[in-house]
Amino acid sequence: QVQLVESGGGLVQPGGSLRLSCVASGSIFSIYAMGWYRQAPGKQRELVAGIAGGGTTTYADSVKERFTISRDKMMLYLQMNSLKPEDTAVYYCNAGGSSANRMGRYWGRGTQVTVSS
């Protein structure tokens, strides 16, 4: 089994920044790709950014040029800049996908990000 724990969410004003972190533990030999997903009330869960084991990344069009995903061993990060109210959502760490744009079987509990003035 794999356990994922997110941190770094909070309340920020439009135009501000946040950095999310996720640590993976357990049977991490089964992990290849990792990523961040988000879900806002009344909306489907969507891929925000993903990163494969070799470093290949993918981003949703809505966050390109603003968000950056990175990975250091089993630590996953999401640097979020120029935040907009529409970025408000619960952000989930995901692991085990076969590629940067494929979701894996492991999920964290999520961390709330609220962008509001």
Query: Strand pairing partners for 68?
Result: 79
Cα–Cα–Cα angle for 22, 103, 115, rounded to 5 degrees: 55
pLDDT band at 116 (very low <50, low <70, confident <90, very high): very high
Q: Are the beta carbons of 34 and 86 closer than 8 angstroms? A: no
pLDDT value at residue 73 = 80
Kindly give, in sequence order, each residue whose CB lies less than 8 Å from that of residue 44, ignoring residues fewer than 6 positions away: none
Q: What is the pLDDT of residues 55-103, one digit of tens each?
A: 999 999 999 999 999 998 889 999 999 999 999 999 999 999 899 899 9
Q: What is the C-alpha R_g of the chain?
A: 13
> Which pLDDT band, with edges at 50, 70 and 90, does 28 fall under?
confident
Residue 3 C-beta-side C-alpha neighbours within 13 Å = 3
Residue 35 has a pLDDT of 96
Q: Counting every residue, how long is the chain? A: 117
